[in-house]
């Protein structure tokens, strides 16, 4: 695609979003190799400039028109929206990585067990707007202490009675003798853009989203090839609900058998393979899929 205006994409330079963002873009042919002191990475693909910044700066970059689009956590998007009325941000696509949740957690053996117990307590968080909005909606009056990192430490050192922070596996909470009490929001990486883009930039973003979707659609799928007796085909279709009808090919010298190619969800892969063996499938090959264009 040839057009004059460069596409400016803000990415997290280093952190929980950067690896997933770069992996996704590289699968879409961008060939990004971030280096320590490189804050601007250029690509010939769609004539793109990548601005490598802290995630906290990404919404502001897009809002002020310094970047056209950017990848951020939904949690940050929500926080920015609440703190910046009339901003110019719009969600373009969900990217299905960096999933986590913003939760309130309390001391494992403490006296806070339910939302109403937070009345009059102190809660430490890096998400003050989201938390205060949630407390107001639930008519809870509590004090919010803003911290920009190590939030899990706050109850231990007596700064707060509870925390409101991101949780993924829950290991950090456990290590700090905290338990998750309630979830404020579920989050994943999202592609966000400026509400008013030129037609040239819109066309590039459309192409980028198409490429992202081709990768995301098959992220949890495998391409399975196997040999099987023709009489077992009805059972096989039950075991491998593919996106499309499976490809069935004759096997030379074995008129009773066929080769089957199918795209299938990875979720229960080993379980499925065992069931395939039970109905006599052989030469089972399982392959990764990079992209699938519908
Ligand atoms: O330096 P910079 O400002 O760019 O990075 P940062 O340190 O502010 O952010 P970073 O990289 O920690 O997170 C960026 C985004 O990744 C977040 O805004 C979320 O959208 C997403 N994300 C996904 C997470 C997590 N999972 C996550 N687990 N962000 C943070 N965490 C932290 C959490 O704060 C807690 O300290 O990991 C810890 C909990 O993890 P578990 O697995 O022990 O539960
Ligand atoms: Zn940050």
Q: For a pocket test of ligand 1, which of 54, 97, 168, 186 has the largest count of ligand atoms closer than 8 A to its C-beta?
A: 168
Q: For residues 240-252, give the mean pLDDT.
A: 78
pLDDT bin (cut points 50, 70, 90) of residue 189 is: very high
Token pair for 85: 């009325």
* Identical fold, 100-186 and 221-287: no
Do 162 and 140 contact (CB within 8 A), yes or no? no
- Looking at ligand 1, which atom is closest to the CA of residue 187? 20
Closest-approaching ligand to the CA atom of 16: 1
Q: How far is the CA of 160 from the centre of ligand 1 (A)?
A: 20
For the whole model, what pTM was predicted? 0.90
Say what the pLDDT of residue 221 is: 86
Closest atom of ligand 1 to CA, residue 73? 20
Is the model more confident about 247 or about 102?
102
Q: What is the pLDDT of residue 38?
A: 83
Q: Which residues line ligand 1 (CB under 6 A)?
A: 12, 15-17, 54-56, 73, 75-76, 98, 100, 165-172, 187
Contact present, 219 and 212 (Cβ < 8 Å)? no
Tell me: domain 7-98+188-216, CATH 3.40.190.10, correct? yes
Q: How far apart are CA 278 and CA 235, in angstroms?
A: 11
Query: Does residue 114 have a pLDDT over 50?
Result: yes
Higher pLDDT: 268 or 91? It is 91
Whether the per-residue pLDDT at 3 is higher than 80: the answer is no
**Ligand 1 pocket: which of 12, 39, 55 to mutate (most atoms <8 Å of CB)?**
55
Q: What is the dihedral of CA 132, 135, 139, 144, to 10 degrees?
A: -60
* CATH of 221-287 among 1.20.140.10, 3.30.70.120, 3.40.190.10, 3.40.50.300: 3.30.70.120
- Mean pLDDT is lowest, of 120-129, 149-158, 217-226, for 217-226
Q: Has domain 100-186 been given CATH number 3.40.190.10?
A: yes
Residue 222 CB-half CA count within 13 A: 16
pLDDT at position 266 over 80:
no
Nearest CA to ligand 1 atom 24: 16
- Check pLDDT > 80 for residue 28: yes
* Per-residue pLDDT at 1 exceeds 50: no
Statement: residue 262 has pLDDT above 90:
no
| Distance from the alpha carbon of residue 186 to the mean position of ligand 2, in angstroms | 18
The residue ranges of every structural domain in the chain are: 7-98+188-216, 100-186, 221-287
Q: Which pLDDT score is estimated for 34?
A: 78
State the pLDDT at residue 4. Answer: 64
Tell how far the Cα of 272 is from the centroid of ligand 1, in angstroms: 34
């Amino acid at each position: 695609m040839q057009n004059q205006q460069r596409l400016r994409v803000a990415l997290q330079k280093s952190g929980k979003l950067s690896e997933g963002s770069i992996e996704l873009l590289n699968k879409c042919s961008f060939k990004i190799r971030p280096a320590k002191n490189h804050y601007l990475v250029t690509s010939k693909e769609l004539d793109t400039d990548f601005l490598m910044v802290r995630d906290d700066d990404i919404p502001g970059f897009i809002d002020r028109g310094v970047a056209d689009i950017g990848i951020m956590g939904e949690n940050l998007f929500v926080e920015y929206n609440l703190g910046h009325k009339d901003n110019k941000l719009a969600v373009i696509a969900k990217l299905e990585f960096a999933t986590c949740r913003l939760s309130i957690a309390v001391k494992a053996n403490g006296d806070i067990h339910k939302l109403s117990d937070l009345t009059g307590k102190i809660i430490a968080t890096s998400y003050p707007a989201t938390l205060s909005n949630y407390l107001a909606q639930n008519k809870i009056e509590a004090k919010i202490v803003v911290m920009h990192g190590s939030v899990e430490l706050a109850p231990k050192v007596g700064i707060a009675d509870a925390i409101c922070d991101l949780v993924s596996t829950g290991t950090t909470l456990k290590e700090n003798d905290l338990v998750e009490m309630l979830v404020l929001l579920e989050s994943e990486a999202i592609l966000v853009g400026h509400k008013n883009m030129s037609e040239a930039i819109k066309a590039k973003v459309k192409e980028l989203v198409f490429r992202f979707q081709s990768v995301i659609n098959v992220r949890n799928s495998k391409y399975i090839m196997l040999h099987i007796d023709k009489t077992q085909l009805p059972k096989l279709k039950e075991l491998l609900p593919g996106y499309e009808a499976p490809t069935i090919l004759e096997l030379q010298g074995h008129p009773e058998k066929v080769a089957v190619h199918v795209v299938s969800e990875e979720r229960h892969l080993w379980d499925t393979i065992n069931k395939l063996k039970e109905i006599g499938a052989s030469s089972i090959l399982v392959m990764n899929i990079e992209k699938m264009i519908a």
